[in-house]
Amino acid sequence: MLKRILKSKTGFTLTELLLVTSILGAVSPAAYIGVKNKAYEISCMNNLKQIGTTLQMFELEQGKLPDAKFFPNNPNTDPRSIKVILKNYGMPNEIFICPTAPQQLKDLGLTYLWNDEVNGKSLYSIDNPSQTWLMVDMTAAYEEATSHRNGYNILYANFQVNWSASPPFNPKTVEK
């Protein structure tokens, strides 16, 4: 009987190991890509939230929102670039770049658009802050969303950041 106990099988057969390995191998890449994309979306939302906090500080000090361009020709040096304006508040360059933006947009140094219709307004003068956008992913200026589950992250004047399947403006009306 002792021989029989010692010879009893413990562990897994090669077939069982191959089956489990193939299942894990098939699931992992798809799950990894989904988790990675969600992490990028959350990172973008956090960027916009930090920009929103800085805009609140700006508005408290100045009594109004910045006078910035929708998207400046040179976001790194134009004095009316939201990036240049908020740089005085210690904003690092990475905050102004969405991690899912195409590389050609990242190379510009700014991947968010500013709503120039709120230029110079105080937060109290905005009628519907939860519906008035301040900043949005730059890809919103194109007719097809390229990031964030085919949608956009939008910073509103109440400083909430939400995902939306549609841009906060008609992309056909934007000059590119």
Q: Where are the domains of the chain?
A: 28-168
pLDDT at 58 over 70: yes
pLDDT at 136 over 90: yes
Q: 9: alpha, beta or left, given left = phi > 0 and alpha = psi -120 to 50?
A: beta
pLDDT at 28 over 70: no
* CA-CA-CA-CA dihedral for 172, 129, 94, 60, to nearest 10: 140
Q: Worst-scoring range by mean pLDDT, 18-22, 122-126, 146-150?
A: 146-150
pTM (global) more than 0.85: no
Q: What is the mean pLDDT of the chain?
A: 86
